[in-house]
Amino acid sequence: MFFWFLALSFVLVALVFDSPALDYRMVMLGSVLPVIELLAGGPWALHTLLAPLVVLVMVMLVTAGRRLARRRWLGLPIGLFLYLVLDGAWLRTELFWWPVLGVRVDSGDLPDFKPAALLIAMELIGVAVGAWAVRRYGLTDRERLRLFCTQGQLDRVQMGGARPRQR
């Protein structure tokens, strides 16, 4: 599941925060970063509540007094939190609350792999949501796409709360 995390994290954060200045690339990166653990043999720290909390605290401490840097890097822990929600990691209590409920991760804590049909359906939903987001946020426009790719930002006019002034 790749597009499921990328597209849904982007759209959820764009709709909830309604901020053109947030770095959505960092949100998307945070939402797929825990997948690396699965490729390396199973879930561990990035599938726990501890990881996004530690990253959030680090971002807040390292970027103190640097508002623009903070705005950029806050997307990373937001994406990590969204991964936990979109993956259903919170359903695996022992792993999610590690190390609060114990420091040992048993093989029973490994995720139950979803049926292939469900994984395919989730990816197709991710692709559909991504296609909707491209149209919704005007990313077919070359300048808007450049702004998104280089700065991770959306055009203020395309955001839900921002409306162009009438003349």
Name the residue with higher pLDDT: 164 or 33: 33
What is the per-residue pLDDT across 4-17, written as a single tens digit (0 to 9) for each? 999 999 999 999 99
DSSP string, 6-75: HHHHHHHHHHHH--TTS-HHHHHHHHHTTHHHHHTTS--GGGSSHHHHHHHHHHHHHTTT-HHHHHHHTH
Lowest average pLDDT, out of 32-41, 96-105, 149-158, goes to 96-105
* pLDDT mean across residues, the chain: 86
pLDDT at 43: 74
The per-residue pLDDT for 30 is 96
pLDDT reported for residue 45: 84
Question: Which pLDDT does position 106 carry in this prediction?
Answer: 55
Tokens 């450049």 correspond to what residue?
146
Least confident of 8-12, 44-48, 82-86, 135-139: 44-48
pTM, 2 dp: 0.84
Q: Are 26 and 81 in contact (CB under 8 A)?
A: no
Per-residue pLDDT, 156: 87
Which amino acid type is present at position 21? A
Distance from C-alpha of 109 to C-alpha of 95, rounded to nearest angstrom: 6
Return the domain boundaries, the chain: 3-158
Q: Summarize the confidence of residues 27-52 as an average pLDDT.
A: 87
Which of these ranges, 23-37, 57-71, 95-109, has the smallest mean pLDDT? 95-109
Average pLDDT over residues 125-151: 96
What pLDDT, on a 0 to 100 scale, did the predictor assign at position 52?
95
pLDDT value of residue 77:
97
* pLDDT grade for 113, boundaries at 50, 70 and 90: low
